[in-house]
Amino acid sequence: MHPQRNRYPVIFTVLSLLHTQAIASQAVTAGWVEKAVLYPSGTVFHAKLDTGAKTTSINAVDVEFFQRDGKRWSKFKITNRDHETITIEAPLVREATIKRHFGKRQKRPVIMLDICIGNVRKKEEVNLVDRANLNYQLLVGRNFLKGDLLIDSGSTYRLSPGCPD
């Protein structure tokens, strides 16, 4: 076997590690609970950052579906801890199948929401679900977190929302 052929897997591994370290060094450390701002309303929610969830979920009540310009839309209300209620109208992006406890699956409507945590602001797919009996009305999943936020499971509220309007 030619001695240089064995170098390529090593070089690839080193480059992969360097890339991973570069991403981690750019990421900000957040607690497992943080304040999140929803735009354009500027409403603040206490959000659970959950690396076990792929997608982001929000507690949506009074959900209605309707047609606008040939597309399916949703209208719903969300309320934060300060009892501020906002109504959101947004086009449906898709319907997600969520794997629940004990292997049960649930279909949920998905919209796009503009979310800010710390100084990270993204338009993110968010599924609508009844979270009324849970402590946090907003659960932020890995799709939002990846590349930008690392989670310190031993702390909360490490960041202040600082995204420009």
Is the domain spanning 29-152 CATH 2.40.70.10? The answer is yes
Domain assignments of the chain as residue spans, ordered by start: 29-152
Residues 6+ apart with CB under 8 A from 111: 74, 88, 90, 91, 92, 93, 125, 126, 128
Query: Is pTM, for the whole model, over 0.95?
Result: no
Q: What is the per-residue DSSP string for 50-80? A: -TT-SSEEEE-EEEEEEEETTEEEEEEEEE-
**Quick one: pLDDT band at residue 25, thresholds 50, 70, 90?**
low
Structure confidence by residue, pLDDT tens digits, 153-164: 999 999 998 888
pLDDT score for 15: 44
Higher-confidence residue of 72 and 5: namely 72
Give tens-digit pLDDT for 97-149: 887 667 788 889 999 999 999 999 999 999 999 888 889 999 999 999 999 99
The residue to which tokens 């929302």 are assigned: 161
Q: Is the pLDDT of residue 9 over 60?
A: no
